[in-house]
Structure 1
Amino acid sequence: MNPAEPAAPGPVAPPRFTLALLGATGVGKSTLLNTIFGADLAATGIGEPVTRGSHLYRRPGHHMAVLDTEGLEYGRDAGQLASDLADAIRSAGPVHVIWYCVRATDRRFTDVEADLVRQLADLGPPVLLVLTRSPDPAHGAVVELARHIDSLALPVWDERCFEVNAQPDRFAGTDQHGLLTLLEATNAAAPAGVRLALAAAQRLDAGLKRESADACVDRASKDLSGRALPRALRTRWTQMFADVALVYGLPKDLAVSAAEATRELALLRAWLWTGQLGSWGVPSVALGRMAVGKRRSGRADGMGSGLSAGIVTRIVGATWVDVCEEAYLAAYPEPPTLQRAVFTAEVSHRLSEQLPAHLRLFRRRT
């Protein structure tokens, strides 16, 4: 860090994503949750009583919570059941998405359940109707049940059921299926402000993680599309590093350490602020090509005359995404565990490779 550079505040944690998981006992809620998010929060998290029979589960450092209710046994009074669920959802704070789970092999969907789904939809959060333990999307009984539910025109997300099977059974000949479709629908249904936390929590789709990480870089690049004060550069880059690290399950302090301790980042901020990048004649087209080459989505913008903070941010961010993604994939399905010094050295090495030759020469002279 440049001693003259002002200190930057720490990164801000994103809003937590909260999922309400509803359904009768034995429908496979825990298996579904564990398969998509890598842990059963009801078993590994800290539970806070919300209302009688419902708990809000969270894990320390985990930006997701699950509202879990006692099994919905339909011998209970339907009106009271709906009232209890409404109280639980309101008391849990902002619930962003509701999964209402029905076991496909039960081959029935009662009027009580239909009324309950309608009342849940009136509460505001989108309701995804999930047919769990579905042997096969084309299975005759499953198709018939889904058609019956569709005929009720319930106010559920995408006006359809999501047939899933979370746990393959080689003896029964059933494969895992439908989980990516359910996750994609959940991401689409969730408010934009909590999608970062959702992408971080899920362990099923590396593509969604990459998409979310690239979006973090896009936002930072657009925020810094012109020249920026050193404090703004440090603050925004540190936040970008923390957001991308969150997506890949890396600790925030590791991201902050990498953002603060990587010498190339301090030099880039100094160059941007003093205008030395422009005076060294870095052509915007060449830097634009670098940005396009680094980013897999192939988009680049903000290419005015000279070199803008936005373009540099895109290069820096894409480098950090690559480092985090490789650590995540190398350790999968376990969380990545690399030391700070390793990450800082890797970021420094990658950035050195991306800098134009004359800037690498300038770096060696400083």
Structure 2
Amino acid sequence: MSDNPTLKIEESPEKSDTSTSNYSNIVENAIKSFRSEIGKVNILIAGKTGVGKSTLINSIFHDNLAQTGTGKPVTQEITEISKEGLPLSIIDSKGLELKEYNQIIGDLKEYVENRKANSDIRKHLHVAWVCIAEGSARIEEGEEELIKMLLEYMPVIIVITKCYTFDNGLQAKAKETFPDLNVMRVQSIPIKLEGGHEIKPKNLVELVLLTNNIIIPIIQNAFIASQKVSLDLKKQQAESLIKYLMKDSKGITKNSELINNIVYMITSISGVYGFYLKMEFVNDIVKIIFGENDSRLKKIIKSIYKKKSKTATKNNKVTGEEASELVGYIGELYLLTIIKSFKTKLGEMPTESEILQYIVNTLNKGTEKLNTN
């Protein structure tokens, strides 16, 4: 590969086998690549019945997973919850309130050991949240034994739930029992009290950031994509992806390679923000960004390259540096669209139709600005 690769900017998509009719194949490959590379994060959530595990799961992860996910029984007291398209598996363990908790912990240990024995680290359990309700006077024997067992296999966070009253000292007691463990007090949902006073959710973002910091790097991307409370984490991941693909695009010599990078970038950013990667949805995004017969893509190319290199425009060629700039421009414009859409929805997930309209509006403004510079 040469040090200064060039790309014919007037080469038609038909000639490079990347016409609109063929984008569906590229999108399908991009979705498969994203899902394969991001893997899945596996989180064990344990605690007594009624401590608020389902509420915590729904408050932190996309798609109201505890309600809409598929629960697969592993044992009588262990259920694995997952949902197609979400790179997350929740292992829900219950029954610690029972007298036979030793048997339950034994069954769970066997399950954890079997997962740990898998040669693929992405199949392991990556972190445990042991949930204890704030109203508890102390960490009970079953909970203590469970935590000790889990620490042999994975990082553990003690999550004190239902923190809508004053701190009763449970956090301090937990730190006294397990001085090296992270303990987080959380309130998962808003609660309205008499007189109109409302207690807001507490420390959900902090729990997500803490979890992301202690899990192994290879599955951090899956965790970031699955959670919904820290949009900053999603933004950072998307920005890193754009920078990586900009660097990769400096070696591009063919239109097909450029198109592949752009489509993969669009697909991955969508996945990072929790959109379900259906073929039709991603294909619609690509078509909007590229425009009818690639008209918008060509307009962006010409506007950028006209300013960058008179020689390149004259020869109908662009350097790899300019191809990198194109990828960066489209990536930043699409990321801006996603960020604005979440802000408009006050942090809630936009619908597919809403995000498509946001893309049209942002791209129209972006290309107009290019043409006036």
Q: TM-score range by the shorter chain?
A: 0.7 to 0.9
Kindly indicate whether residue 123 of structure 2 is the aligned counterpart of residue 98 of structure 1: no
Q: Which one of the candidate residues 132, 148, 163 is aligned to 1:134?
A: 163
Give secondary structure in 1 for the equivalent of 2:191. Answer: coil
Which structure ranks higher in relative contact order (CA pairs < 8 Å, sequence separation ≥ 6)?
A: 2
Separation (CA, whole Å) in 2 of partners of 1:306 and 1:77:
62
- Asked if the contact 2:58/2:64 (under 8 Å) is kept, the reply is yes
Aligned partner of 1:164 in structure 2 is 186
Aligned partner of 2:147 in structure 1 is 117
Aligned partner of 2:97 in structure 1 is 73
Separation (CA, whole Å) in 1 of partners of 2:251 and 2:296:
17
- Asked if the contact 1:241/1:256 (under 8 Å) is kept, the reply is no
Give secondary structure in 1 for the equivalent of 2:190. Answer: coil
Kindly indicate whether residue 217 of structure 2 is the aligned counterpart of residue 198 of structure 1: no
Kindly indicate whether residue 58 of structure 2 is the aligned counterpart of residue 23 of structure 1: no
Q: Deviations over 1:60-116 (max 9, x none)?
A: 3222221112332252253x3332122334566332221111112112113442232
Give secondary structure in 2 for the equivalent of 1:62. Answer: coil
Q: Report the residue type matching 1:336 in the other structure.
A: T
Change (3 A) 1:154 1:247: same
Kindly indicate whether residue 56 of structure 2 is the aligned counterpart of residue 32 of structure 1: yes
Q: TM-score, normalised on structure 2?
A: 0.74
Q: TM-score, normalised on structure 1?
A: 0.76
Kindly indicate whether residue 355 of structure 2 is the aligned counterpart of residue 333 of structure 1: no
Separation (CA, whole Å) in 1 of partners of 2:67 and 2:49:
16
Alpha-carbon distance, 1:23 to partner = 0.7
Separation (CA, whole Å) in 1 of partners of 2:55 and 2:359:
37
Q: Which runs of 5+ in 2 are unaligned?
A: 1-11, 19-25, 116-122, 313-318
Alpha-carbon distance, 1:5 to partner = 1.9
| Matching of residues 231-270 of structure 1 within 5 Å | 231-252=256-277, 253=279, 254-260=281-287, 262=290, 263=294, 266-267=297-298
Q: Deviations over 1:17-53 (max 9, x none)?
A: 2221111111111111122225542321112222332
My pick for the range that moved more, 86-95 or 235-244, is: 86-95
Q: Deviations over 1:316-345 (max 9, x none)?
A: 101011122333343453542217974664
- Asked if the contact 2:242/2:331 (under 8 Å) is kept, the reply is yes
RMSD (CA atoms): 3.3
- Asked if the contact 1:19/1:98 (under 8 Å) is kept, the reply is yes
Give secondary structure in 1 for the equivalent of 2:80. Answer: strand
Change (3 A) 1:177 1:5: same
Give secondary structure in 2 for the equivalent of 1:106. Answer: coil
Q: Report the residue type matching 1:107 in the other structure.
A: A
Separation (CA, whole Å) in 2 of partners of 1:342 and 1:167:
31
Separation (CA, whole Å) in 1 of partners of 2:206 and 2:359:
36
- Asked if the contact 1:222/1:310 (under 8 Å) is kept, the reply is yes
Q: Which one of the candidate residues 339, 352, 365 is aligned to 2:367?
A: 352
Separation (CA, whole Å) in 2 of partners of 1:192 and 1:265:
37
Aligned partner of 2:81 in structure 1 is 57
- Asked if the contact 2:46/2:92 (under 8 Å) is kept, the reply is yes
Change (3 A) 1:354 1:103: same
Separation (CA, whole Å) in 2 of partners of 1:270 and 1:191:
39
Alpha-carbon distance, 1:240 to partner = 0.9
Aligned partner of 1:10 in structure 2 is 29
Change (3 A) 1:320 1:175: closer
Aligned partner of 1:84 in structure 2 is 107
Separation (CA, whole Å) in 2 of partners of 1:357 and 1:281:
21
Separation (CA, whole Å) in 1 of partners of 2:334 and 2:295:
13
Separation (CA, whole Å) in 1 of partners of 2:173 and 2:322:
57
My pick for the range that moved more, 175-184 or 38-47, is: 38-47
- Asked if the contact 1:249/1:328 (under 8 Å) is kept, the reply is no
Q: Deviations over 1:138-178 (max 9, x none)?
A: 62x23xx22222223465xxx32101112333338754312
Q: Which one of the candidate residues 320, 325, 333 is aligned to 1:311?
A: 325
